[in-house]
Structure 1
Amino acid sequence: MYRWSRLRLPNGQVARSAWKEALRPLEKTRMSRNVKLEIDGTTCYGEVQYFTQLAIRNDGPQAAWRFRTVALVSLYSAPDKQLLELSHQTVWSCTNQGEVGLRVVDVTDIQAVVAVIPHRPTLPSGVTEDRVFVVEKTGLDVSYTGVFAEEDDNDNEREE
């Protein structure tokens, strides 16, 4: 099994992995291993451990191998519902589930790299605990940022 540490997403971002980032000194860590995912129609967030390919054998008369590119991701918990509601769906405060949250996902489920910021809030329930909140880079949902300009027919005429 081979694994690798980074993957370029369709939006141009590069998602990295905890596997290699943990080997770097803190001042050289890029912290781009936290990602937004769409799994079974649900938005969730997680920390990429590493990327790899799985070999899948197709049985039948023309047996052959095909490869599926996946990521091992440690998913963060669902957000605190009360805090999410009080913040008008803007503060996604969750906990790191560690090994319990490990899941293999298809890389096409990864939508963007996000920031995950540690904080220690007092939740509406009165509990104070170590959590993280997610910050997304705005504007990544715009896939085409080029400018379309129509040619003016008069610009193509030559003066004689």
Structure 2
Amino acid sequence: MNIFEDNINLILYVMSLSAYDQVLFEDISVKCYDETFSVFDDLTQNRIFYNTDFVVFFNKVDVFDVKIGAVPFTTCVPSFNTEWAHNRKKIVGYVRTKFETLFKQNTEAMHRKPTKSIFRNTNSPPPQRDVFFHVTCATDTRRMQQVINDVQFGIVRRQLQMAHLA
């Protein structure tokens, strides 16, 4: 028996925005950002989450803002435009685009690949899932309230869909 049911409404995915120049403690040959994208890729490919929304938190923006002034983003991504290597908006846009690309590719691949599963039959409609992004500092209560509102919206929307009311 699978510990997950097929009715998971939402996955909260948190990444440290400020870890762009860091490696994993357990494996110094792996960059934190590479691991972050790899885990997200695995999650969004998992058929258990076929109709599950994702909320991605780009957390520790306060630490990121200080660090990016001194350590350019090209430390993480050498091919990144050097003119933007200290630009928060451009860097967050780059990171968000990577997440969106993985999410879209995996969602489309799920729909194209027929499967016999207790979670989805071969005649099911395309996945009905979205990804939401928030740049956060966990200690910013005002911003975190907006995040909570978005999470609640996602849950209510999913329940309405399941009841065929949306």
Bin the TM-score by the shorter chain.
under 0.3
- TM-score relative to the length of structure 2: 0.22
Larger radius of gyration: 1
User: 1 or 2, which has the higher helix percentage?
Assistant: 2
Larger relative CO (CA 8 A, sep 6+): 1 or 2?
Answer: 2
